[in-house]
Amino acid sequence: MHPDLNLSGQTGLIDMPSGEQMADGYLSLDHSQFGPVVRNALRFQITPRLSGTFRYVGLHDYEKHLCQPDCADGKDTYTYYDRNFDISYQILTESRFLPAVTIGVQDFVGTGLFSAEYVAGTKALGPRLKVTGGVGFGRLGSYNAFGQPFGPREKIDFGLGGKISYKQWFQGDAALFGGLEYQITPKWTAKAEYSSDAYAEESARRRMFDRNSPMNYGLEYAPNPAFRFGVYALYGSEIGLSLSATLNPDQRPQGGIGGPAPLPIRPRPADRAAWARDWVAQPDINEAVTRSLAATLKDTGIVIQSVGLTATTAQVRFQNTTYDATAQAIGRLARAMAWVLPASVEHFQIVPVEHGMAGSMVVVNRTDLERFEFAPDGATLLRAQTQIKTPSAPLSGTTINPDPAPRLTWSLLPYVHTRQFDPTNPLQASLGLRLSGQYDLAPGMFLSGAVTDVIVSSINGSADETSVLPHVRSSSVLYDTQANPDVETLTLAYFTGLAPNVFGRITAGYLERGFAGLSTEVLYRPTSKPWALGVEANSVAQRDTDGLLGFGQYSYAVATGHVSGYLDLRGGYHAQVDVGRYLAGDKGATLSLSREFENGWSVGVYATKTDVSAEDFGEGSFDKGITLQIPLAWFFGKPTRDMRTTTIRPIGRDGGARLEVDDRLYSVLRSYDQRKIDAQWGRVWK
């Protein structure tokens, strides 16, 4: 029996947690409702034992009982919204005689309304029956407590929220909870539990529902491992419903990536006399090879930029416009080179180029391609003979492809923009069209921009006038409601290699919806090292909220910049630290942690602390959030490098706000790190 999610989006029974964890790397979305309580949760299995959950809770009719008989200003229908963060760690995995045991902390940074701690154990008693038991504190110790084993639980002043309430952990009343799960059929599961949550605020004080019993019962239906539906009888008075979806970012719904098969390796003649080297002296041989290689790769999305030749070595610089795995593009280019190049060319120097910058150089021996094409575990054998290193200079006589990729690319597509977590309307959205395009002026130099036009929108509201900081983000709702059409970006950017492993970027123009100006960056990124260092400096002015090209509304200008460190922690885990000055003039640092999957998925968290006090920052005390990067190839099963990124920011304030400039160097070059290529090397023959 696989673990299920409870009504809070944690692994558990019905309303209580369990000792289990989901499979490593799994991402879950959960929606549940009973009576006045609505929960939406996002859960991620960070490691095999460690998980994190973000939950957004709505409590309907929150003031109705307390305000009677005079319920003015809509208090009789008021809904209170609260954001929760949970973390849990499995200290013991299930064995033949021992249960799985998890220790968890619930709602540990925020208002504390749902704060709780627990230790839970779960044991399978045969293939169909599981039993769970645990002890809870905080909310989970509020019904039928047996004592305070670790001392009293002091009431905390959460203020504006955002403070970690660690002094409360495992303090105060403790109570037991538990339950059973029985798998009736592979798709149907019955559950029963004893709950230790008294719902003191919702039931006893505010009388939002009647808690008549600690017993809960449920029936769940899972048509497949990805979806689960549940119906429950709760607390002797309520009917509850839940819907959860679970996905594995490391496993594509469509299986593998489709598309045309690669070329086979053309074996060279066995007679070494056919390996003569005099061909290299033929006039215009570089141009002929360049045209032939480009024609062989036509319609593959691999664009040849230049070819340099000697009698034994070929260096090909290329742009990958299609494949989400750099290793796959390298493998297909190597096959094409083996098909086109004269037999004496043994060493292939393959150089991926992005935004005019050579990211790395992959050196493959042609003999190894011929030996390992059909060998068991051929990718591993080939990698052992392949070098990934800093690009060398182009070979003498290198020829530029006279027919490169189209200089103008553009698209007109629908888009959806959302505003989240407004306390009066937590989910607002607009639907429209986005026209975007890029024109390549020269190698590494691009003119690009995007314009949107809203078709329909539910977004409304006014700027937050309570902020004591410059309104660099608290006025964002004005851009959503007043800018139509909206010139989102209009920039001229130049990228270049400054020295071996050193890259530079200059971007000028309308950098984002809120700011325009100049952004500069330098990055030091050794190809074979797990770290990189960068420096960014920006001088920007705030744009008018009408979405056009003016600046007169705010008359606010600021210089910002950061020193950034990047570290690959192995196993797909990645850390980034940015230290510097933010848009509101505050100074501080941002720590970002993420888990990246081979196919491009990334799930991460970040937190920013600056010299702005919690009082001046406002609700939430400091900036924090969750980041998701989703590759479209994962959904559609077809080769594409397109990504969708989103940030779930529970509180959007002015403090800790960073300039949103496109194509920062580390993200542009990330695919060409040695570790990134190694992680995808299994696709080199595909």
| Residue 233, beta-bridge partner list | 217, 239
> Is the distance from CB of 530 to CB of 511 less than 8 angstroms?
no
CA distance 491 to 447: 6
Closest-CA residue to 407 (of 448, 376, 438): 438
| Residue 122, beta-bridge partner list | 100, 132
> Is the distance from CB of 120 to CB of 195 less than 8 angstroms?
no
208 Cβ contact partners less than 8 Å away, ≥ 6 residues apart: 35, 36, 37, 59, 60, 61, 62, 64, 65, 202
Q: Lowest-pLDDT range, 65-69, 104-108, 275-279?
A: 65-69
Task: State the first-to-last Cα distance of the chain, in angstroms, to the nearest integer.
Answer: 36
**What are the phi and psi torsion angles at 448 (to 5°)?**
-140, 165
Q: Would you state the pLDDT for residue 158?
A: 61
The answer regarding whether domain 279-404 maps to CATH 3.30.300 reads: yes
CA distance 177 to 115: 16
Instruction: Give per-residue pLDDT as tens, 634-659.
Output: 888 888 888 889 998 877 789 999 99
What are the angstrom distances between the C-alpha of 156 and each of 113, 150, 501?
A: 11, 17, 51
Q: Lowest-pLDDT range, 118-132, 280-294, 343-357, 393-407?
A: 393-407
Residue 26: how many other CB atoms lie within 10 Å: 20
Does residue 260 carry a pLDDT above 90?
A: no
Q: Would you state the pLDDT for residue 460?
A: 87
Instruction: Give per-residue pLDDT as tens, 412-445.
Output: 999 999 888 877 788 889 999 999 999 999 999 9
CA distance 96 to 108: 33
HEC string of 4-64?
Answer: CECCCCCEECCCCECCCCCCCCCEEEEEEEECCEEEEEEEEECCCCEEEEEEEEEECCCCH
Q: Quick check: bond before 283 cis, omega within 30?
A: no
Does residue 163 carry a pLDDT above 80?
A: no
CA distance 219 to 50: 28
CATH fold of 27-247 reads Porin (2.40.160)
- State the number of CA atoms in the 13 A half-sphere of 341 facing the CB: 29
Instruction: Give per-residue pLDDT as tens, 512-551.
Output: 999 999 999 999 999 989 999 999 999 999 999 999 999 9
CA distance 602 to 593: 10
Instruction: Give per-residue pLDDT as tens, 653-683.
Output: 899 999 999 999 999 999 999 999 999 999 9
Q: Would you state the pLDDT for residue 159?
A: 59
Q: DSSP E strands: which ranges in 395-424?
A: 399-400, 408-422
> Is the distance from CB of 244 to CB of 104 less than 8 angstroms?
no
Helix and strand totals (H; E) in the chain: 10, 32
Closest-CA residue to 578 (of 503, 657, 649, 638): 657
Q: Which two tokens stand for residue 686?
A: 């595909």
Q: Is the dihedral of CA 364, 365, 370, 376 positive or negative?
A: negative
> Is the distance from CB of 574 to CB of 566 less than 8 angstroms?
yes
CA distance 245 to 223: 11
Strands 387-389 and 238-247: unpaired
Q: Would you state the pLDDT for residue 143?
A: 97
* H or E element, residue 286: helix 285-296
**What are the phi and psi torsion angles at 570 (to 5°)?**
75, 160
Q: Would you state the pLDDT for residue 73?
A: 76
CA distance 108 to 54: 11
Does residue 469 carry a pLDDT above 70?
A: yes
> Is the distance from CB of 490 to CB of 675 less than 8 angstroms?
no
Quote the percentage of the chain above a pLDDT of 70.
99
Parse the chain into domains and list their residue ranges.
27-247, 279-404, 408-675
HEC string of 644-683?
Answer: EEEEECCCCCCCCCCCCCCCCHHHHHHHHCHHHHHHCHHH
Region 385-400: mean pLDDT is 92
| Token pair 């909310």 in the structure block, residue | 139
Instruction: Give per-residue pLDDT as tens, 182-204.
Output: 999 999 999 999 999 999 999 99
Instruction: Give per-residue pLDDT as tens, 220-243.
Output: 999 998 999 999 999 999 999 999
Q: Would you state the pLDDT for residue 432?
A: 95
CA distance 429 to 420: 9
Instruction: Give per-residue pLDDT as tens, 30-48.
Output: 999 999 999 999 999 999 9
Q: Lowest-pLDDT range, 292-306, 329-343, 452-466, 660-674?
A: 452-466
**What are the phi and psi torsion angles at 407 (to 5°)?**
-75, -25
572 phi-psi bin (left φ>0, alpha ψ -120 to 50, beta other): left
Residue 221: how many other CB atoms lie within 10 Å: 14
Q: Would you state the pLDDT for residue 302?
A: 93
Q: Reduced to 3 states, what is the DSSP secondary structure of residue 149?
A: coil
User: Which one-letter amino acid corresponds to residue 277?
Assistant: R
Q: Which two tokens stand for residue 546?
A: 């009408």
Residues in the chain: 686
437 Cβ contact partners less than 8 Å away, ≥ 6 residues apart: 408, 409, 410, 411, 448, 449, 450
592 Cβ contact partners less than 8 Å away, ≥ 6 residues apart: 575, 576, 577, 578, 604, 605, 606, 627
Instruction: Give per-residue pLDDT as tens, 550-572.
Output: 998 889 999 999 999 999 998 89
Does residue 161 carry a pLDDT above 70?
A: no
> Is the distance from CB of 208 to CB of 202 less than 8 angstroms?
yes
Tell me the pLDDT band of 1, cut-offs 50, 70 and 90: confident
Residue 638: how many other CB atoms lie within 10 Å: 13
Does residue 160 carry a pLDDT above 70?
A: no
227 Cβ contact partners less than 8 Å away, ≥ 6 residues apart: 243, 244, 245, 246
